[in-house]
A and B are shown apart, each in its own frame.
Chain A
Protein backbone atom coordinates (compact mmCIF):
# COMPACT_ATOMS: atom_id res chain seq x y z
CA UNK A 1 0.00 0.00 0.00
CA UNK A 2 1.53 3.23 -1.06
CA UNK A 3 1.17 5.91 1.52
CA UNK A 4 2.83 8.78 -0.20
CA UNK A 5 3.15 9.45 -3.88
CA UNK A 6 5.16 12.64 -3.60
CA UNK A 7 8.64 13.25 -2.40
CA UNK A 8 8.61 14.47 1.17
CA UNK A 9 10.46 17.76 1.47
CA UNK A 10 13.81 17.87 3.18
CA UNK A 11 13.82 18.84 6.83
CA UNK A 12 16.69 20.11 8.91
CA UNK A 13 18.35 17.63 11.20
CA UNK A 14 17.18 17.67 14.81
CA UNK A 15 18.96 20.22 16.99
CA UNK A 16 20.87 17.77 19.07
CA UNK A 17 22.45 15.89 16.22
CA UNK A 18 24.36 18.51 14.30
CA UNK A 19 26.33 21.57 15.19
CA UNK A 20 29.09 22.04 17.70
CA UNK A 21 27.16 20.77 20.73
CA UNK A 22 26.40 17.52 18.95
CA UNK A 23 29.99 17.17 17.87
CA UNK A 24 31.18 17.64 21.40
CA UNK A 25 28.64 15.13 22.63
CA UNK A 26 29.54 12.40 20.18
CA UNK A 27 33.27 12.92 19.94
CA UNK A 28 34.30 13.93 23.38
CA UNK A 29 31.62 13.07 25.87
CA UNK A 30 30.19 9.91 24.41
CA UNK A 31 29.44 8.10 27.63
CA UNK A 32 31.02 8.04 31.08
CA UNK A 33 34.34 6.41 30.16
CA UNK A 34 34.93 8.68 27.22
CA UNK A 35 34.08 11.74 29.27
CA UNK A 36 36.60 10.63 31.85
CA UNK A 37 39.25 10.23 29.17
CA UNK A 38 38.45 13.64 27.78
CA UNK A 39 38.85 15.25 31.18
CA UNK A 40 42.09 13.34 31.79
CA UNK A 41 43.34 14.37 28.37
CA UNK A 42 42.57 18.00 29.01
CA UNK A 43 44.36 17.79 32.32
CA UNK A 44 47.44 16.23 30.72
CA UNK A 45 47.41 18.93 28.06
CA UNK A 46 47.22 21.56 30.74
CA UNK A 47 50.12 20.02 32.63
CA UNK A 48 52.27 19.79 29.50
CA UNK A 49 51.39 22.76 27.37
CA UNK A 50 51.14 25.58 29.88
CA UNK A 51 54.60 25.24 31.45
CA UNK A 52 56.15 24.65 28.02
CA UNK A 53 54.65 27.77 26.52
CA UNK A 54 55.61 29.68 29.63
CA UNK A 55 59.21 28.51 29.44
CA UNK A 56 59.68 28.67 25.68
CA UNK A 57 57.90 31.89 24.86
CA UNK A 58 56.60 34.02 27.65
CA UNK A 59 59.56 34.01 30.03
CA UNK A 60 62.18 33.43 27.36
CA UNK A 61 65.00 35.74 26.43
CA UNK A 62 65.47 36.29 22.75
CA UNK A 63 67.93 39.14 22.41
CA UNK A 64 71.40 39.56 23.75
CA UNK A 65 74.96 38.45 23.26
CA UNK A 66 76.13 36.66 26.37
CA UNK A 67 74.78 34.59 29.16
CA UNK A 68 74.22 37.60 31.40
CA UNK A 69 71.35 38.49 29.12
CA UNK A 70 69.60 35.32 30.20
CA UNK A 71 67.36 35.51 33.19
CA UNK A 72 67.26 31.74 33.76
CA UNK A 73 63.54 31.79 34.35
CA UNK A 74 62.57 31.07 30.80
CA UNK A 75 64.38 29.67 27.83
CA UNK A 76 67.64 31.31 26.85
CA UNK A 77 67.33 31.60 23.12
CA UNK A 78 70.24 34.03 23.21
CA UNK A 79 72.43 30.95 23.29
CA UNK A 80 70.94 29.72 20.05
CA UNK A 81 71.22 33.13 18.46
CA UNK A 82 74.83 33.48 19.43
CA UNK A 83 75.81 30.13 18.02
CA UNK A 84 73.39 29.99 15.16
CA UNK A 85 75.84 30.21 12.29
CA UNK A 86 77.95 27.53 13.90
CA UNK A 87 74.93 25.27 14.11
CA UNK A 88 74.28 25.77 10.44
CA UNK A 89 77.78 25.82 8.96
CA UNK A 90 79.91 24.07 11.56
CA UNK A 91 83.44 25.40 11.69
CA UNK A 92 83.36 26.62 8.12
CA UNK A 93 85.21 29.94 7.84
CA UNK A 94 82.69 32.74 7.88
CA UNK A 95 84.16 34.60 4.93
CA UNK A 96 83.45 31.55 2.78
CA UNK A 97 79.84 31.19 3.88
CA UNK A 98 78.73 32.42 0.46
CA UNK A 99 79.97 29.18 -1.08
CA UNK A 100 77.92 27.09 1.30
CA UNK A 101 74.94 29.35 0.74
CA UNK A 102 75.07 28.75 -3.00
CA UNK A 103 75.13 25.02 -2.39
CA UNK A 104 72.19 25.31 0.05
CA UNK A 105 70.21 27.36 -2.44
CA UNK A 106 70.83 24.90 -5.26
CA UNK A 107 69.99 21.98 -3.01
CA UNK A 108 66.64 23.31 -1.91
CA UNK A 109 65.74 24.49 -5.39
CA UNK A 110 66.41 21.05 -6.80
CA UNK A 111 64.36 19.36 -4.11
CA UNK A 112 61.47 21.77 -4.56
CA UNK A 113 61.57 21.27 -8.31
CA UNK A 114 61.32 17.52 -7.96
CA UNK A 115 58.67 17.69 -5.26
CA UNK A 116 56.18 20.17 -6.66
CA UNK A 117 53.95 18.17 -8.98
CA UNK A 118 53.38 20.33 -11.98
CA UNK A 119 56.84 21.58 -12.78
CA UNK A 120 58.26 20.31 -16.08
CA UNK A 121 61.63 18.87 -17.07
CA UNK A 122 61.77 16.65 -14.00
CA UNK A 123 63.93 14.11 -15.80
CA UNK A 124 66.62 16.67 -16.64
CA UNK A 125 66.52 18.09 -13.14
CA UNK A 126 66.94 14.58 -11.72
CA UNK A 127 69.93 13.87 -13.93
CA UNK A 128 71.47 17.19 -12.97
CA UNK A 129 70.81 16.51 -9.30
CA UNK A 130 72.36 13.07 -9.38
CA UNK A 131 75.40 13.77 -11.52
CA UNK A 132 76.29 17.42 -11.96
CA UNK A 133 75.19 18.86 -8.63
CA UNK A 134 77.46 16.68 -6.46
CA UNK A 135 80.47 17.75 -8.49
CA UNK A 136 79.53 21.42 -8.34
CA UNK A 137 78.80 21.17 -4.62
CA UNK A 138 82.11 19.47 -3.94
CA UNK A 139 84.08 22.07 -5.86
CA UNK A 140 82.32 24.91 -4.09
CA UNK A 141 82.57 23.47 -0.60
CA UNK A 142 86.05 22.02 -0.73
CA UNK A 143 87.70 24.53 -2.96
CA UNK A 144 91.14 24.14 -4.41
CA UNK A 145 89.96 24.94 -7.92
CA UNK A 146 89.13 28.20 -9.59
CA UNK A 147 91.12 30.16 -6.99
CA UNK A 148 88.77 29.12 -4.24
CA UNK A 149 90.67 28.63 -1.00
CA UNK A 150 90.59 25.09 0.28
CA UNK A 151 88.39 24.35 3.29
CA UNK A 152 89.33 20.99 4.77
CA UNK A 153 86.55 18.60 5.66
CA UNK A 154 87.43 18.88 9.34
CA UNK A 155 85.70 22.21 9.35
CA UNK A 156 82.50 21.05 7.74
CA UNK A 157 79.74 20.67 10.27
CA UNK A 158 76.29 21.58 11.51
CA UNK A 159 73.15 21.38 9.42
CA UNK A 160 75.28 21.61 6.29
CA UNK A 161 77.10 18.43 7.20
CA UNK A 162 73.88 16.64 8.14
CA UNK A 163 72.28 17.42 4.79
CA UNK A 164 75.46 16.49 2.98
CA UNK A 165 75.80 13.14 4.72
CA UNK A 166 72.19 12.24 4.09
CA UNK A 167 72.19 13.33 0.45
CA UNK A 168 75.47 11.74 -0.51
CA UNK A 169 74.52 8.60 1.31
CA UNK A 170 71.27 8.49 -0.63
CA UNK A 171 72.77 9.31 -4.03
CA UNK A 172 75.48 6.74 -3.56
CA UNK A 173 73.10 4.12 -2.29
CA UNK A 174 70.77 4.40 -5.27
CA UNK A 175 72.92 2.72 -7.96
CA UNK A 176 74.28 0.13 -5.55
CA UNK A 177 70.77 -0.58 -4.34
CA UNK A 178 69.49 -1.05 -7.90
CA UNK A 179 72.29 -3.49 -8.68
CA UNK A 180 71.64 -5.39 -5.46
CA UNK A 181 67.89 -5.53 -6.04
CA UNK A 182 68.31 -6.80 -9.58
CA UNK A 183 70.90 -9.30 -8.42
CA UNK A 184 68.61 -10.55 -5.70
CA UNK A 185 65.92 -11.24 -8.28
CA UNK A 186 68.36 -12.94 -10.59
CA UNK A 187 68.11 -16.60 -11.44
CA UNK A 188 71.85 -17.09 -11.26
CA UNK A 189 72.45 -18.76 -7.89
CA UNK A 190 75.83 -17.26 -7.08
CA UNK A 191 74.79 -13.73 -7.90
CA UNK A 192 71.58 -14.17 -5.97
CA UNK A 193 73.36 -15.58 -2.90
CA UNK A 194 75.97 -12.82 -2.89
CA UNK A 195 73.29 -10.18 -3.01
CA UNK A 196 71.22 -11.78 -0.28
CA UNK A 197 74.24 -12.15 1.98
CA UNK A 198 75.36 -8.60 1.27
CA UNK A 199 71.92 -7.14 1.95
CA UNK A 200 71.25 -9.16 5.09
CA UNK A 201 74.68 -8.32 6.46
CA UNK A 202 74.33 -4.56 6.21
CA UNK A 203 70.75 -4.69 7.44
CA UNK A 204 71.51 -6.95 10.36
CA UNK A 205 74.20 -4.93 12.12
CA UNK A 206 73.77 -1.65 13.95
CA UNK A 207 74.91 1.47 12.11
CA UNK A 208 77.29 2.31 14.89
CA UNK A 209 79.30 -0.85 14.32
CA UNK A 210 79.44 -0.02 10.62
CA UNK A 211 80.74 3.46 11.41
CA UNK A 212 83.29 1.97 13.79
CA UNK A 213 84.26 -0.47 11.10
CA UNK A 214 84.62 2.32 8.60
CA UNK A 215 86.65 4.56 10.82
CA UNK A 216 88.84 1.92 12.46
CA UNK A 217 89.06 -0.95 10.02
CA UNK A 218 89.05 0.85 6.71
CA UNK A 219 92.58 2.22 7.12
CA UNK A 220 93.72 -1.32 7.80
CA UNK A 221 92.25 -2.60 4.57
CA UNK A 222 93.93 -0.04 2.41
CA UNK A 223 97.56 -0.18 1.29
CA UNK A 224 99.74 1.15 4.06
CA UNK A 225 100.37 4.83 3.87
CA UNK A 226 97.18 5.57 2.02
CA UNK A 227 95.03 7.69 4.23
CA UNK A 228 91.38 8.31 3.87
CA UNK A 229 89.63 11.45 4.94
CA UNK A 230 87.46 10.92 8.04
CA UNK A 231 84.41 12.30 6.34
CA UNK A 232 84.90 9.96 3.40
CA UNK A 233 85.10 7.00 5.75
CA UNK A 234 81.81 7.94 7.34
CA UNK A 235 80.27 8.45 3.91
CA UNK A 236 81.38 5.03 2.74
CA UNK A 237 79.90 3.42 5.84
CA UNK A 238 76.62 5.32 5.50
CA UNK A 239 76.35 4.59 1.78
CA UNK A 240 76.89 0.86 2.13
CA UNK A 241 74.44 0.73 5.06
CA UNK A 242 71.82 2.65 3.16
CA UNK A 243 72.26 0.65 -0.04
CA UNK A 244 70.98 -2.49 1.67
CA UNK A 245 67.78 -0.76 2.75
CA UNK A 246 67.42 0.87 -0.66
CA UNK A 247 67.76 -2.56 -2.24
CA UNK A 248 64.76 -3.76 -0.27
CA UNK A 249 62.68 -0.72 -1.22
CA UNK A 250 63.60 -1.18 -4.88
CA UNK A 251 62.84 -4.88 -4.70
CA UNK A 252 59.42 -4.01 -3.28
CA UNK A 253 58.80 -1.61 -6.14
CA UNK A 254 59.85 -4.20 -8.72
CA UNK A 255 57.63 -6.82 -7.15
CA UNK A 256 54.66 -4.53 -7.47
CA UNK A 257 54.95 -4.62 -11.25
CA UNK A 258 52.87 -7.51 -12.62
CA UNK A 259 54.93 -10.27 -14.15
CA UNK A 260 53.05 -9.80 -17.38
CA UNK A 261 54.91 -6.57 -18.06
CA UNK A 262 58.27 -8.27 -18.21
CA UNK A 263 56.84 -11.12 -20.25
CA UNK A 264 55.32 -8.74 -22.76
CA UNK A 265 58.60 -6.87 -23.09
CA UNK A 266 60.50 -10.11 -23.56
CA UNK A 267 57.98 -11.25 -26.15
CA UNK A 268 58.66 -8.03 -28.06
CA UNK A 269 62.27 -9.08 -28.29
CA UNK A 270 63.85 -6.71 -25.76
CA UNK A 271 67.04 -7.75 -24.05
CA UNK A 272 67.36 -7.77 -20.28
CA UNK A 273 68.77 -4.27 -19.92
CA UNK A 274 66.30 -2.80 -22.40
CA UNK A 275 63.41 -4.42 -20.56
CA UNK A 276 64.63 -3.12 -17.26
CA UNK A 277 65.47 0.34 -18.43
CA UNK A 278 62.52 1.09 -20.69
CA UNK A 279 59.62 -0.82 -19.21
CA UNK A 280 60.09 -2.08 -15.69
CA UNK A 281 62.18 0.57 -13.95
CA UNK A 282 60.16 3.61 -15.02
CA UNK A 283 57.00 2.02 -13.66
CA UNK A 284 58.67 0.69 -10.55
CA UNK A 285 60.33 3.99 -9.71
CA UNK A 286 56.98 5.70 -9.42
CA UNK A 287 55.84 3.12 -6.90
CA UNK A 288 59.08 3.22 -4.97
CA UNK A 289 59.18 6.92 -4.27
CA UNK A 290 57.27 6.89 -0.95
CA UNK A 291 59.55 4.08 0.22
CA UNK A 292 62.61 6.00 -0.89
CA UNK A 293 61.46 9.11 0.96
CA UNK A 294 60.90 7.00 4.07
CA UNK A 295 64.40 5.53 3.95
CA UNK A 296 65.73 9.03 3.41
CA UNK A 297 63.97 10.16 6.58
CA UNK A 298 65.60 7.30 8.47
CA UNK A 299 68.99 8.11 7.01
CA UNK A 300 68.53 11.76 7.92
CA UNK A 301 67.96 10.77 11.53
CA UNK A 302 70.79 8.23 11.45
CA UNK A 303 73.36 10.83 10.40
CA UNK A 304 73.42 11.94 14.03
CA UNK A 305 75.52 8.88 14.79
CA UNK A 306 78.58 10.34 13.09
CA UNK A 307 79.21 12.43 16.16
CA UNK A 308 80.29 9.25 17.88
CA UNK A 309 83.18 8.95 15.43
CA UNK A 310 84.17 12.56 15.74
CA UNK A 311 82.29 14.42 13.04
CA UNK A 312 80.24 17.45 13.96
CA UNK A 313 76.82 17.18 12.40
CA UNK A 314 73.96 19.30 13.70
CA UNK A 315 73.57 17.29 16.89
CA UNK A 316 77.32 16.99 17.34
CA UNK A 317 77.90 20.69 17.06
CA UNK A 318 75.07 21.48 19.46
CA UNK A 319 76.51 18.98 21.92
CA UNK A 320 79.95 20.55 21.53
CA UNK A 321 78.52 24.03 22.06
CA UNK A 322 76.90 22.85 25.28
CA UNK A 323 80.28 22.04 26.76
CA UNK A 324 81.56 25.54 26.10
CA UNK A 325 82.21 27.04 29.51
CA UNK A 326 80.56 30.28 28.52
CA UNK A 327 77.26 28.59 27.97
CA UNK A 328 77.02 25.85 30.56
CA UNK A 329 73.63 24.75 31.68
CA UNK A 330 71.58 25.46 28.60
CA UNK A 331 71.33 21.88 27.45
CA UNK A 332 67.54 22.06 27.33
CA UNK A 333 67.59 24.98 24.90
CA UNK A 334 70.17 23.31 22.73
CA UNK A 335 68.33 20.02 22.50
CA UNK A 336 64.98 21.70 21.92
CA UNK A 337 66.50 23.68 19.07
CA UNK A 338 68.13 20.62 17.50
CA UNK A 339 64.96 18.57 17.98
CA UNK A 340 62.93 21.31 16.34
CA UNK A 341 65.22 21.45 13.31
CA UNK A 342 65.17 17.71 12.82
CA UNK A 343 61.46 17.55 13.43
CA UNK A 344 60.66 20.16 10.81
CA UNK A 345 62.62 18.29 8.17
CA UNK A 346 61.41 14.82 9.06
CA UNK A 347 57.77 15.78 9.57
CA UNK A 348 57.59 17.64 6.25
CA UNK A 349 59.18 14.74 4.43
CA UNK A 350 56.84 12.24 6.00
CA UNK A 351 53.81 14.35 5.11
CA UNK A 352 55.08 14.58 1.56
CA UNK A 353 55.55 10.82 1.46
CA UNK A 354 51.98 10.27 2.67
CA UNK A 355 50.70 12.70 0.05
CA UNK A 356 52.60 10.79 -2.62
CA UNK A 357 51.24 7.48 -1.44
CA UNK A 358 47.69 8.79 -1.63
CA UNK A 359 48.30 10.10 -5.13
CA UNK A 360 49.78 6.81 -6.24
CA UNK A 361 47.01 4.74 -4.73
CA UNK A 362 44.30 6.60 -6.58
CA UNK A 363 46.20 6.55 -9.84
CA UNK A 364 47.22 2.96 -9.87
CA UNK A 365 44.20 0.69 -9.71
CA UNK A 366 45.33 -2.93 -9.51
Chain B
Protein backbone atom coordinates (compact mmCIF):
# COMPACT_ATOMS: atom_id res chain seq x y z
CA UNK B 1 0.00 0.00 0.00
CA UNK B 2 2.10 2.92 -1.25
CA UNK B 3 -0.67 5.38 -2.01
CA UNK B 4 -1.13 7.49 1.05
CA UNK B 5 -4.74 8.46 0.70
CA UNK B 6 -6.94 5.54 -0.16
CA UNK B 7 -10.27 7.24 -0.42
CA UNK B 8 -12.31 6.12 2.55
CA UNK B 9 -15.50 5.80 0.56
CA UNK B 10 -13.78 3.31 -1.67
CA UNK B 11 -13.34 0.88 1.17
CA UNK B 12 -16.24 -1.52 1.38
CA UNK B 13 -14.94 -3.90 4.01
CA UNK B 14 -12.30 -3.11 6.58
CA UNK B 15 -11.05 -5.54 9.17
CA UNK B 16 -8.40 -4.32 11.58
CA UNK B 17 -6.76 -6.58 14.10
CA UNK B 18 -9.72 -8.91 14.20
CA UNK B 19 -9.45 -11.83 16.60
CA UNK B 20 -11.99 -14.53 17.27
CA UNK B 21 -12.00 -17.42 19.71
CA UNK B 22 -14.35 -20.38 19.83
CA UNK B 23 -14.06 -21.02 23.54
CA UNK B 24 -10.33 -21.60 23.90
CA UNK B 25 -9.60 -22.11 20.25
CA UNK B 26 -8.06 -19.06 18.62
CA UNK B 27 -9.45 -19.30 15.11
CA UNK B 28 -8.95 -15.78 13.70
CA UNK B 29 -5.64 -14.16 14.65
CA UNK B 30 -4.97 -10.50 13.99
CA UNK B 31 -6.87 -10.41 10.72
CA UNK B 32 -6.18 -7.36 8.59
CA UNK B 33 -8.29 -7.00 5.47
CA UNK B 34 -9.29 -4.14 3.24
CA UNK B 35 -11.62 -4.64 0.31
CA UNK B 36 -12.13 -1.74 -2.08
CA UNK B 37 -15.12 -1.10 -4.20
CA UNK B 38 -15.12 -3.39 -7.20
CA UNK B 39 -12.47 -5.70 -5.79
CA UNK B 40 -12.89 -9.44 -5.69
CA UNK B 41 -11.22 -11.52 -3.06
CA UNK B 42 -10.82 -15.23 -2.89
CA UNK B 43 -10.07 -16.83 0.43
CA UNK B 44 -8.40 -20.20 0.15
CA UNK B 45 -7.12 -22.52 2.77
CA UNK B 46 -7.34 -25.95 4.30
CA UNK B 47 -10.55 -26.94 5.99
CA UNK B 48 -10.81 -25.74 9.56
CA UNK B 49 -8.59 -22.77 8.89
CA UNK B 50 -11.33 -20.27 9.56
CA UNK B 51 -12.41 -19.20 6.06
CA UNK B 52 -16.11 -19.55 6.82
CA UNK B 53 -15.69 -17.85 10.18
CA UNK B 54 -13.96 -14.88 8.58
CA UNK B 55 -16.70 -14.39 6.04
CA UNK B 56 -19.47 -14.88 8.57
CA UNK B 57 -17.96 -12.24 10.84
CA UNK B 58 -18.55 -9.63 8.19
CA UNK B 59 -22.32 -9.82 8.46
CA UNK B 60 -22.26 -10.72 12.13
CA UNK B 61 -23.42 -14.30 11.81
CA UNK B 62 -20.36 -14.87 13.97
CA UNK B 63 -19.23 -12.44 16.62
CA UNK B 64 -15.61 -11.35 16.93
CA UNK B 65 -14.11 -10.71 20.34
CA UNK B 66 -11.30 -8.31 19.48
CA UNK B 67 -10.69 -5.83 16.69
CA UNK B 68 -12.79 -3.65 14.43
CA UNK B 69 -14.88 -4.48 11.42
CA UNK B 70 -16.30 -1.74 9.25
CA UNK B 71 -18.61 -2.38 6.34
CA UNK B 72 -19.44 0.43 3.95
CA UNK B 73 -18.31 2.96 6.52
CA UNK B 74 -20.55 1.57 9.26
CA UNK B 75 -18.81 0.10 12.28
CA UNK B 76 -19.94 -3.37 13.27
CA UNK B 77 -20.77 -3.35 16.96
CA UNK B 78 -23.31 -5.03 19.22
CA UNK B 79 -25.84 -2.40 18.25
CA UNK B 80 -28.75 -4.22 16.63
CA UNK B 81 -29.59 -1.27 14.41
CA UNK B 82 -26.05 -1.14 13.06
CA UNK B 83 -26.04 -4.87 12.44
CA UNK B 84 -29.27 -4.70 10.47
CA UNK B 85 -28.00 -1.71 8.53
CA UNK B 86 -24.88 -3.63 7.57
CA UNK B 87 -26.84 -6.72 6.65
CA UNK B 88 -28.96 -4.67 4.29
CA UNK B 89 -25.89 -3.85 2.26
CA UNK B 90 -24.30 -7.30 2.44
CA UNK B 91 -25.63 -10.26 0.51
CA UNK B 92 -24.70 -13.84 1.34
CA UNK B 93 -24.86 -17.12 -0.52
CA UNK B 94 -24.58 -20.21 1.67
CA UNK B 95 -23.04 -23.60 1.13
CA UNK B 96 -26.38 -25.31 1.73
CA UNK B 97 -28.48 -22.75 -0.18
CA UNK B 98 -30.92 -22.19 2.74
CA UNK B 99 -33.86 -21.34 0.52
CA UNK B 100 -37.16 -21.04 2.40
CA UNK B 101 -39.00 -24.27 1.51
CA UNK B 102 -42.48 -22.98 2.29
CA UNK B 103 -42.17 -20.10 -0.20
CA UNK B 104 -41.95 -20.28 -3.96
CA UNK B 105 -38.82 -19.22 -5.81
CA UNK B 106 -40.35 -15.86 -6.62
CA UNK B 107 -41.53 -15.34 -3.05
CA UNK B 108 -38.06 -16.25 -1.76
CA UNK B 109 -36.65 -13.39 -3.79
CA UNK B 110 -39.40 -10.92 -2.93
CA UNK B 111 -39.62 -11.42 0.81
CA UNK B 112 -36.75 -9.14 1.85
CA UNK B 113 -37.44 -6.30 -0.62
CA UNK B 114 -41.10 -6.27 0.45
CA UNK B 115 -40.63 -6.51 4.20
CA UNK B 116 -37.36 -4.65 4.70
CA UNK B 117 -37.19 -2.17 1.86
CA UNK B 118 -40.98 -1.83 1.90
CA UNK B 119 -41.32 -2.20 -1.85
CA UNK B 120 -44.75 -2.91 -3.31
CA UNK B 121 -45.21 -6.45 -4.57
CA UNK B 122 -45.28 -5.54 -8.26
CA UNK B 123 -41.99 -3.72 -8.02
CA UNK B 124 -40.40 -6.51 -5.99
CA UNK B 125 -41.60 -9.17 -8.43
CA UNK B 126 -40.30 -7.26 -11.44
CA UNK B 127 -36.94 -6.90 -9.77
CA UNK B 128 -36.93 -10.57 -8.81
CA UNK B 129 -37.76 -11.71 -12.34
CA UNK B 130 -34.95 -9.57 -13.66
CA UNK B 131 -32.39 -11.28 -11.43
CA UNK B 132 -33.91 -14.71 -11.93
CA UNK B 133 -33.36 -14.19 -15.62
CA UNK B 134 -29.80 -13.10 -14.99
CA UNK B 135 -29.16 -16.42 -13.27
CA UNK B 136 -31.08 -18.21 -16.01
CA UNK B 137 -33.80 -19.71 -13.89
CA UNK B 138 -36.76 -17.43 -14.61
CA UNK B 139 -38.93 -20.28 -15.89
CA UNK B 140 -38.91 -21.89 -12.42
CA UNK B 141 -40.27 -18.80 -10.69
CA UNK B 142 -43.47 -20.43 -9.48
CA UNK B 143 -41.81 -23.67 -8.36
CA UNK B 144 -40.87 -24.47 -4.80
CA UNK B 145 -37.31 -25.18 -3.61
CA UNK B 146 -38.17 -28.83 -2.94
CA UNK B 147 -38.80 -29.29 -6.62
CA UNK B 148 -35.44 -27.97 -7.78
CA UNK B 149 -32.04 -29.55 -8.09
CA UNK B 150 -29.07 -28.35 -6.04
CA UNK B 151 -27.61 -26.27 -8.81
CA UNK B 152 -30.96 -24.62 -9.50
CA UNK B 153 -31.45 -23.87 -5.82
CA UNK B 154 -28.06 -22.23 -5.53
CA UNK B 155 -28.76 -20.03 -8.51
CA UNK B 156 -32.01 -18.94 -6.90
CA UNK B 157 -30.06 -18.20 -3.72
CA UNK B 158 -27.73 -15.95 -5.68
CA UNK B 159 -30.67 -14.12 -7.24
CA UNK B 160 -32.31 -13.78 -3.83
CA UNK B 161 -29.36 -11.98 -2.32
CA UNK B 162 -28.90 -9.80 -5.39
CA UNK B 163 -32.48 -8.54 -5.11
CA UNK B 164 -31.47 -6.44 -2.11
CA UNK B 165 -28.88 -4.60 -4.23
CA UNK B 166 -26.09 -5.23 -1.76
CA UNK B 167 -22.81 -3.39 -1.87
CA UNK B 168 -20.90 -6.48 -0.80
CA UNK B 169 -21.55 -10.09 -1.79
CA UNK B 170 -20.27 -12.94 0.33
CA UNK B 171 -20.04 -16.47 -0.98
CA UNK B 172 -19.42 -19.16 1.60
CA UNK B 173 -18.26 -22.28 -0.25
CA UNK B 174 -21.08 -21.94 -2.76
CA UNK B 175 -20.35 -25.09 -4.71
CA UNK B 176 -19.24 -27.49 -1.98
CA UNK B 177 -22.65 -29.07 -1.58
CA UNK B 178 -23.22 -29.58 -5.28
CA UNK B 179 -22.74 -32.57 -7.53
CA UNK B 180 -20.00 -32.09 -10.14
CA UNK B 181 -22.44 -31.58 -13.03
CA UNK B 182 -24.13 -28.74 -11.23
CA UNK B 183 -21.00 -26.92 -10.15
CA UNK B 184 -20.44 -25.70 -13.66
CA UNK B 185 -23.85 -24.06 -13.99
CA UNK B 186 -23.38 -22.15 -10.75
CA UNK B 187 -19.81 -21.12 -11.55
CA UNK B 188 -20.94 -19.94 -14.97
CA UNK B 189 -23.51 -17.71 -13.34
CA UNK B 190 -20.97 -16.33 -10.91
CA UNK B 191 -18.42 -15.68 -13.62
CA UNK B 192 -21.00 -13.90 -15.69
CA UNK B 193 -21.93 -11.69 -12.76
CA UNK B 194 -18.29 -10.81 -12.30
CA UNK B 195 -17.94 -10.17 -16.01
CA UNK B 196 -20.84 -7.77 -15.98
CA UNK B 197 -18.72 -5.56 -13.79
CA UNK B 198 -16.02 -5.41 -16.38
CA UNK B 199 -13.28 -7.31 -14.60
CA UNK B 200 -12.19 -10.86 -14.58
CA UNK B 201 -11.41 -12.74 -11.44
CA UNK B 202 -10.56 -16.19 -10.35
CA UNK B 203 -13.47 -17.83 -8.68
CA UNK B 204 -12.47 -20.56 -6.33
CA UNK B 205 -13.69 -21.67 -2.96
CA UNK B 206 -14.73 -18.28 -1.61
CA UNK B 207 -15.14 -14.91 -3.03
CA UNK B 208 -15.75 -11.65 -1.33
CA UNK B 209 -16.87 -9.26 -3.95
CA UNK B 210 -17.35 -5.51 -3.77
CA UNK B 211 -19.96 -4.45 -6.27
CA UNK B 212 -19.80 -1.10 -7.99
A residues touching B (Cβ–Cβ < 8 Å)? Answer: 1, 3-4, 7-14, 17-18
Q: Which residues of B contact A18 (CB under 8 A)?
A: 21, 23-24
B residues touching A (Cβ–Cβ < 8 Å)? Answer: 1, 19, 21, 23-24, 26, 29-30, 32, 65-66
Instruction: Assess whether B24 is in contact with A13, with CB atoms less than 8 Å apart.
Output: yes
Instruction: Assess whether B26 is in contact with A10, with CB atoms less than 8 Å apart.
Output: yes
Instruction: Assess whether B30 is in contact with A13, with CB atoms less than 8 Å apart.
Output: no
Instruction: Assess whether B66 is in contact with A14, with CB atoms less than 8 Å apart.
Output: yes
- Top 5 A-B pairs ranked by shortest CB distance? A13-B21, A8-B29, A10-B26, A8-B30, A17-B65
Q: Is the interface of B mostly helix, strand, loop or mixed?
A: strand
Q: Which residues of B contact A12 (CB under 8 A)?
A: 24, 26
- Cα(A11)–Cα(B29), bound, Å: 8
Given contacts A9-B29, A12-B24, A14-B21, 9 further A-B contacts (CB under 8 A): A1-B1, A8-B29, A8-B30, A10-B26, A10-B29, A13-B26, A17-B21, A17-B65, A18-B24
- Cα(A246)–Cα(B30), bound, Å: 59
What are 7 contact pairs spanning A and B, CB under 8 A? A3-B32, A4-B32, A8-B29, A11-B29, A12-B26, A13-B21, A18-B24
- Cα(A12)–Cα(B65), bound, Å: 12
Q: Which residues of A contact B1 (CB under 8 A)?
A: 1
Question: Total A-B pairs in contact (CB under 8 Å)?
Answer: 28
- How far apart are B34's CB and chain A's nearest CB, in angstroms? 9
- How far apart are B114's CB and chain A's nearest CB, in angstroms? 30
For residue A14, which residue of chain B has the nearest CB? B65
Instruction: Assess whether A11 is in contact with B65, with CB atoms less than 8 Å apart.
Output: no
- Cα(A18)–Cα(B24), bound, Å: 7
Instruction: Assess whether A13 is in contact with B32, with CB atoms less than 8 Å apart.
Output: no
Q: Which residues of B contact A13 (CB under 8 A)?
A: 21, 23-24, 26, 65
Q: Which residues of B contact A1 (CB under 8 A)?
A: 1
- Cα(A17)–Cα(B19), bound, Å: 12
- Cα(A8)–Cα(B20), bound, Å: 13
Q: Which residues of A contact B19 (CB under 8 A)?
A: 11
- How far apart are A8's CB and chain B's nearest CB, in angstroms? 4
- Cα(A14)–Cα(B64), bound, Å: 11
